[in-house]
Structure 1
Amino acid sequence: MSPSYKHIHPKFKFNGIHYDLEALKELAYSLVKEGQEYEVAIGKFLMDWLDEADSILVETSGSTGAPKTIALKKEHMVNSALATGSFFKMGVGTKALQCLSTNFIAGKMMLVRAIVLGWEIDFVEPTSHPLGQNSKPYDFCAMVPMQVQGSLSSLNQIGTIIIGGAPISTELKLRLSCVNTKIFETYGMTETITHIAIKEFAKGLEDFNFKSLPDVALSTDHRGCLVIEAPKVSDEIIVTNDLVNLISSTEFQWLGRYDNVINSGGVKLIPEQLESKFSTLISSNFFVAGIPDPDLGQKLILVVEGNMDGNQLSQKIKSLKSISKFEIPKEIFVVPQFVETGNGKVNRTKTIALLHLE
C-alpha cells in the first residue's frame, strides 16, 4: 500500500495504542468533545485530516504580520512527511514525541508523519518544559528554542531533535555543546509545509549553511530574498522575505528578514545579525528594531524583557569589539513582558507599541 492521506499506516500508534481509520475518527471526536484545550486542537486537526476533502485549511503564525488562513493539499503534506522520514532515516516504528501546538503547521505535521510513516507517537501538553514529567526515550522530536532551553537536562533521552520557529541563540548553542542528541536547525514556513532546508548543529562547528531537501530549488529575487521552488509541497513558487547569502541552488546562509531591515542614516542594519552579537551579553528575551527619527530616518533601539539596568547594558554593548558605531542602539527600553503570537513567537510590532513612543 503506497503512502496516501486516505490511509492509516498499519503500524501507526498514538499514545501506545494502534488506531485504524474508524477508531481514529472516534478518538478525534472524543478529544474535541472532552479534551483539554491542546487536546481539542489535536482532535480538530485529526477530524480535518480524515475527512473527504483533498486539502486542509491552516493558519500562519503571524510572527511577521497578520495571521492568514491558507489551504494546503493533503498530498503535499504526505510528500513532506515522506521527505522528513527519508532524510532522517525515521521509518516504521520510530518513537516520536509531539510537544508542539497542533494549531500550527509544525504540530500538525508531527501527526501526519506518524500516520503516514507508521510511527509510534506520544503527545503531551505544549509547554516550555515538555520533558518535565516524561522520562521515556524517543527517536525523534520537534521543538521550538524555548522548549529546548527548558529541557536541557533531559534532551539526552531523545535521539534526534529538529528545532524551528525561531533562530537558536548563541547562549543556547553553547549549552547544546554538552548534549549527545543529534540536533538540527530547520528552515521553513507554513507555505512550505514546515522545513525545506536543514542545518546540522555540530559541536564546535557553528554557522553551517542550510542545505535544501531533495526536489527543492533555491534562488533569490532582486532584493536578495530567498525564492523557493518545491513542486512536491507547493504548486506555487514561493517568494520569501528572508534575506540570504545564496551559496548554490541547494545551499544558503540565512541573514534575516527583509521587512525587519533598519535604514539608519543610509546604513542598512539587519536586526537578526545584531541580535546574534548582543546575545553574548543578554540572557533574557530581547530584540532590536528601528523607529522613526527626524534626522536618521530610523534609529536603532534595543528592547529587553524583564528587569535590567539599561545604562549598564549600554556600556557593555559599546565595549563589544564585534560591532561598529552604527550598530550601537540609540536607546534601550526595558519592558516587563513581551507580547507574543499564538505559538509563542515575539510580536515585535505590538511589543514596540507598549513603549508609547509618540
Structure 2
Amino acid sequence: MTPTFDKIHLKFKLNGSSFDHDELKEVAYSLVKEGEAFEKVAGNFLLDWLDSKDYILVSTSGTTGLPKTIKINKKHMVNSAIMTGDFFKIQPGDTALHCLPSRYISGKMMLVRAMILGLELDMVAPTLHPAYDDEKDYDFCAMIPLQLKNSLNRLQHIKTLIVGGASVSKALIDSLQDLETSVYETFGMTETISHFAVKKLNHNTSMSKAFETLPDVRISKNENDCLVVDAPKLSDAIIVTNDLVNMVSEHQFEIIGRYDNMINSGGVKVYPELIELKLQDLIEPRFFIASETDNDLGQKVILVIEGETADFDKEVFSQLDKHEVPKMVYTIPKFLVTETGKLQRKKILDTILT
C-alpha cells in the first residue's frame, strides 16, 4: 500500500517512543508549549503535517536573495521520502539521527522520512557540534558541511550520512576517505523537496564530480546552460534553476556555478566557483570570489577573505588564468551565513562595497 501523509508508519519512533497519528499530535502540542527552541519549531511543523490540509508552507533559506514562502504539496514530500528510502535502501525500523533545523526543508524532510518510512528517529539540537550519542548505531543521518567537519571523530556508528545545504570543500572530502561511514553530497532546493541528486564522496574509486539524479527525475539545460529539472513526483511544475551545469549524461550533471554569480569582465565570462576551486587549498581562511563595477571592464573580479587581514602569498594567483586574477582583495572579520551554513554573499558584499 502506498504511504500517504495522513498515516504514520507503525514502526515510527521519536526519541525512543512510538506514537500513532493522534498521539503524535499531542506530542507536537507539548513540544510547542514546553520544548526548547528547536523543539518548538519541530512541533509546529508536526502540527502542520498532521492537520487536514494537503500542503504546507515552507520558507527558503534566502541564500541568493530574500527568503520567500512557498506552498509544497504533502504528497510530493511523501514521494521524496520514498525516493530517498529506495535509493539508500532504508528499511522500516532503521535508526536515524535528526540534527538539522526543522525550520527548513532539509530538517522537515528528516521528520517526514521517519514518519513515512518507519524510522526510529532521535532528534537533537541543530548546533554546529551536534550533541548525539556517538556510541549508538544510526543507519541514516543528514548534516550540513560544518556539522560533518566538526563530527569527523564521532561518525564511527553512523552507516550512511548525507551532507547538503552548502558546497563540500575538497579538504573535507579528503578527510572522509578513511571513514567507514558512507558519505554522499546531495543537491537540491526547497522547490524540489530537498535533494533530487546525490554524489558519493568516499568509498568511490572513480571519485566522479557528477551528481546522479534519483529515479523518475529528468534533467536538461536551457539556453543559458542552467539546469532544468522535471520531477513530476516532486513538483507539478518544471523547475528552471540558476545553476550552470555540464551535462554528463541524461541522469548526471556537474555543477559549474550560479548564473547569478557569473562575472562578465571585459567581455569574458568568469565563474567564481571555478576560481574558488583552484584556490581552495592555497588560501587558509574562508574566502569567496565576487565582482564589483569597473569603468573599463564593466565588472572586475574581487577576492573577499574572512579575517582582519589578507595574510596570504599573492603567488597563489599564478594558478589562475589572466582574466580570473582578482583586481582587489577585501577582508571582513566574520562572514554572514545562513542557519544551514551557506555564505550570504550578497549581504557580505553590501557590507564591503557600500
- TM class by shorter-chain length? over 0.9
Is residue 317 of structure 2 the alignment partner of residue 318 of structure 1? yes
Is residue 347 of structure 2 the alignment partner of residue 350 of structure 1? yes
Query: Is the CA contact (8 Å cut-off) linking 2:48 and 2:56 kept in structure 1?
Result: yes
Is residue 196 of structure 2 the alignment partner of residue 196 of structure 1? yes
Q: Deviation of residue 284 (structure 1)? A: 2.8
Q: Deviation of residue 307 (structure 1)? A: 4.1
Q: Quick one: which amino acid aligns to residue 331 of structure 1? A: M
Show the counterpart of 1:259.
260
Query: Is the CA contact (8 Å cut-off) linking 2:140 and 2:160 kept in structure 1?
Result: yes
Is residue 146 of structure 2 the alignment partner of residue 149 of structure 1? no
Show the counterpart of 1:340.
337
Determine the C-alpha separation between the residues in 1 that align with 2:310 and 2:236: 50
Matches within 5 A, 1:64-79: 64-79=64-79
Q: Quick one: which amino acid aligns to residue 164 of structure 2? A: G
Q: What is the total number of aligned residue pairs between the two structures?
A: 353
Is residue 206 of structure 2 the alignment partner of residue 209 of structure 1? no
Determine the C-alpha separation between the residues in 2 that align with 1:194 and 1:102: 12
Q: Quick one: which amino acid aligns to residue 273 of structure 1? A: L
Determine the C-alpha separation between the residues in 2 that align with 1:346 and 1:51: 35
Determine the C-alpha separation between the residues in 1 that align with 2:201 and 2:193: 22
Q: Quick one: which amino acid aligns to residue 12 of structure 2? A: F
Go from structure 1 to structure 2 and tell me whether the alpha carbon gap of 1:167 and 1:18 turns closer, same or farther (over 3 Å shift): same
Show the counterpart of 1:21.
21
Determine the C-alpha separation between the residues in 1 that align with 2:247 and 2:330: 35
Q: Deviation of residue 222 (structure 1)? A: 0.6
Larger deviation: 262-271 or 127-136? 127-136
Show the counterpart of 1:222.
223
Show the counterpart of 2:91.
91
Larger deviation: 78-87 or 175-184? 175-184
Show the counterpart of 1:282.
283
Determine the C-alpha separation between the residues in 1 that align with 2:349 and 2:209: 32
Q: What secondary structure is seen at the aligned counterpart in 2 of 1:354?
A: helix
Show the counterpart of 1:292.
293
Query: Is the CA contact (8 Å cut-off) linking 2:5 and 2:75 kept in structure 1?
Result: yes
Determine the C-alpha separation between the residues in 2 that align with 1:231 and 1:253: 22
Q: Quick one: which amino acid aligns to residue 127 of structure 2? A: T
Determine the C-alpha separation between the residues in 2 that align with 1:23 and 1:346: 39
Q: Quick one: which amino acid aligns to residue 18 of structure 1? A: S
Q: Deviation of residue 339 (structure 1)? A: 1.6
Query: Is the CA contact (8 Å cut-off) linking 1:218 and 1:248 kept in structure 2?
Result: no
Q: Quick one: which amino acid aligns to residue 82 of structure 1? A: I
Q: Deviation of residue 251 (structure 1)? A: 1.2
Q: Quick one: which amino acid aligns to residue 338 of structure 2? A: T
Go from structure 1 to structure 2 and tell me whether the alpha carbon gap of 1:176 and 1:307 turns closer, same or farther (over 3 Å shift): farther
Matches within 5 A, 1:24-103: 24-103=24-103
CA RMSD of aligned residues (A): 1.4
Determine the C-alpha separation between the residues in 2 that align with 1:236 and 1:309: 45
Q: Deviation of residue 7 (structure 1)? A: 0.4
